[in-house]
């Protein structure tokens, strides 16, 4: 879906919704974007790359499907709300819960959503990110004319982590180097390093990796060589 089509869907969700609080990400948009089939495809690829261990005997039965949890996380990320706030919205808006893959009258709790979010694993989020970037490139949303390098610090869980480092702001952890498209302000690629690493060398690595991936998958000269690179 192009950026113009996305804006039209947002406006239609606001004007045509009959509920008391019409949010931007409406159930109609969730269906039009086909988030449930997308989530099933991501989970299948993740299972191929890293198959899950067989489930132990006993325990609480799994009521909510994995694809529904993944769609809920994507909606929560777009709205930038907490699990508690999203669960309250789905309880007030049953159509949204149905669009996310839940059965009628069922809504996942906030505590279980947090646990299921952490249990999905790294491969699910990595495949989701790469798939969305590829789709946005094919749709022309990520143009690649201007690239921006930015970074943020993530604190380490333990001071004994040998792979982490101290930043200039006296924070011990890791630094996420993010390559963004300046036109759409959307991420293209990210790399993780110790917190004491500089952005400049990692910026070149991000660009080289993105150029090689683009040249292998797409025939877009505009995406292979950016006209400018900004370090922020």
pLDDT mean by block of 10 residues, the chain; 232 residues: 54 49 68 90 88 62 87 89 90 90 91 90 89 85 78 88 88 88 82 83 65 45 40 42
Whole-number pLDDT of residue 20: 44
Domain stop point among 63, 91, 123? 123
Strand partners, 175: 153, 193
Count of domains in the chain? 2
Judge if 91 and 154 occupy the same domain.
Answer: no
Structure tokens at 53: 């261990």
Tell me if 83 sits within 8 A of 91, measured CB to CB. no
Whole-number pLDDT of residue 7: 56
Judge if 110 and 148 occupy the same domain.
Answer: no
Judge if 167 and 98 occupy the same domain.
Answer: no
131: exposed, middle or buried (C-beta count within 10 Å: 0-12, 13-18, 19+)?
middle
The answer to the question of residue 136 being in a domain is: no
Judge if 80 and 166 occupy the same domain.
Answer: no
Q: Which of 112, 125, 8 is nearest to 77 (CA)?
A: 125
The answer to the question of residue 75 being in a domain is: yes
- The residue segments making up the domain with residue 96 are 3-123
Q: Where is 181: in which H helix or E strand? A: strand 172-181
Structure tokens at 189: 């690629």
Q: With b meaning 16 or more CB within 10 Å and e meaning fewer, what string describes 211-226? A: eebbeeeeeeeebeeb
Give 197-202 contacts, CB < 8 A, sequence gap 24+.
Answer: 197/165, 199/149, 199/150, 199/151, 199/231, 200/231, 202/149, 202/151, 202/177
Judge if 85 and 169 occupy the same domain.
Answer: no
The answer to the question of residue 132 being in a domain is: no
Whole-number pLDDT of residue 162: 87
The answer to the question of residue 39 being in a domain is: yes
11: exposed, middle or buried (C-beta count within 10 Å: 0-12, 13-18, 19+)?
exposed
What 8-state DSSP symbol labels residue 207? H
> What dihedral angle (degrees, nearest 10) is formed by the CA atoms of 177, 182, 185, 186?
-60
The answer to the question of residue 92 being in a domain is: yes
The answer to the question of residue 129 being in a domain is: no
The answer to the question of residue 184 being in a domain is: yes
Q: Return the SS3 of 92.
A: helix
Q: Which of 166, 135, 138, 139 is nearest to 153 (CA)?
A: 166
Judge if 119 and 23 occupy the same domain.
Answer: yes
Judge if 114 and 166 occupy the same domain.
Answer: no
Judge if 96 and 154 occupy the same domain.
Answer: no
Domain stop point among 55, 88, 123? 123
Tell me if 113 sits within 8 A of 69, measured CB to CB. yes
Judge if 50 and 102 occupy the same domain.
Answer: yes
Tell me if 187 sits within 8 A of 133, measured CB to CB. yes
Spatial separation of the C-alpha atoms in residues 93 and 83, rounded to whole Å: 15
Judge if 118 and 159 occupy the same domain.
Answer: no
Q: Which of 171, 145, 146 is nearest to 159 (CA)?
A: 171
Overall pTM surpassing 0.75 (yes/no): no
Judge if 157 and 195 occupy the same domain.
Answer: yes
The answer to the question of residue 134 being in a domain is: no
Domain stop point among 67, 89, 123? 123
Judge if 107 and 159 occupy the same domain.
Answer: no
């Amino acid at each position: 879906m192009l950026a113009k089509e996305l804006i039209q869907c947002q406006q239609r969700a606001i004007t045509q919704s009959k509920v008391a609080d019409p949010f931007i990400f409406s159930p109609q948009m969730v269906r039009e974007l086909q988030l449930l089939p997308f989530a099933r495809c991501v989970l299948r690829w993740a299972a191929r790359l890293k198959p899950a261990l067989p489930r132990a005997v006993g325990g609480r039965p799994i009521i909510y499907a994995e694809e529904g949890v993944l769609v809920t996380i994507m909606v929560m990320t777009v709205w930038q709300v907490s699990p508690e706030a999203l669960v309250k919205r789905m309880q007030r808006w049953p159509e949204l819960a149905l669009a996310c893959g839940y059965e009628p009258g069922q809504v996942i709790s906030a505590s279980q959503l947090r646990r299921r979010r952490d249990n999905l694993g790294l491969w699910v989020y990595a495949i989701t990110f790469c798939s969305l970037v590829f789709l946005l490139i094919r749709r022309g949303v990520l143009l690649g004319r201007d690239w921006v390098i930015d970074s943020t610090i993530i604190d380490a869980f333990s001071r004994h982590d040998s792979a982490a480092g101290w930043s200039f702001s006296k924070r011990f952890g890791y630094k996420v180097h993010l390559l963004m498209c300046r036109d759409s302000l959307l991420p293209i690629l990210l790399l993780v390093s110790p917190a004491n690493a500089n952005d400049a060398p990692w910026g070149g690595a991000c660009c080289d990796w993105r150029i090689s991936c683009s040249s292998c998958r797409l025939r877009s000269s505009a995406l292979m060589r950016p006209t400018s690179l900004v370090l922020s």
